[in-house]
Amino acid sequence: MNVIKTILSKLATIFMVLIKFVSFMALMLGGAYLLAPMGLINSKDIDMSLFTNTPNDTMMILFNSEYFSGYLFSVTIALVIFVIYLLWSIHEVAVHRTEKMHSSHVQLVFALSLCGLFIHKAWWVLAIIIAFANWSEIGESISSVIRNSRNKTNDLKNTSNEINKVED
């Protein structure tokens, strides 16, 4: 039964990838069709004898096609949108990390991320540090330092009292 679930899961994943690919290509070809009139501005009467490496005639037909220019333009727009999305995802990594860890610093990290976006990138770096720091471990370390310093102080007082007793 487990094997069948695994196989069906893999098939569903492959099917979803194919659906996404087909929808992406349909969107790109639709964009090529809609943006094809922008390809009319290319000059088609260039003398190819001016160039040393000229493509063959089939490639030149493709390069001079308005639909090819529209397709390139739609792919460029899609690529720019994707890069902006990735940059935003990187920018929001600190907020998502604090929300995932159920940290009490979510609002602080969000505010520092916005300051990093609009004011200076150092605020964003501070938000990353706050988001990825293990605050329970840091608190435990600080508590142990304070505890050890109090023990040392008490030991020093006891030692000085013993020295005074020996001197008397």
Q: What are phi and psi of 66, to 5 degrees?
A: -70, -35
Tell me the pLDDT tens digit for each residue of 128-166: 787 877 777 777 888 887 877 766 666 556 665 655 565
Burial of 74 (0-12, 13-18, 19+ CB in 10 A): buried
Q: What is the pLDDT of residue 97?
A: 80
Domains of the chain: which residue ranges?
A: 1-40+52-88
Tell me the pLDDT tens digit for each residue of 29-49: 888 888 777 766 655 666 667
Q: What is the pLDDT of residue 154?
A: 61
Whether the predicted pLDDT of 17 surpasses 90: yes
Packing angle between helix 93-100 and helix 106-118, nearest 10 degrees? 180
The answer to whether the CB of 130 falls within 8 A of the CB of 94 is yes
63 vs 74: CA distance, rounded Å: 15
Mean pLDDT value of segment 104-117: 77
**Confidence (pTM):** 0.56
Residue pointed to by tokens 């037909």: 61
Give the three-class secondary structure for 52: coil
Whether the predicted pLDDT of 100 surpasses 90: no
Tell me the pLDDT tens digit for each residue of 48-63: 677 777 777 777 777 7
Mean pLDDT value of segment 96-125: 79
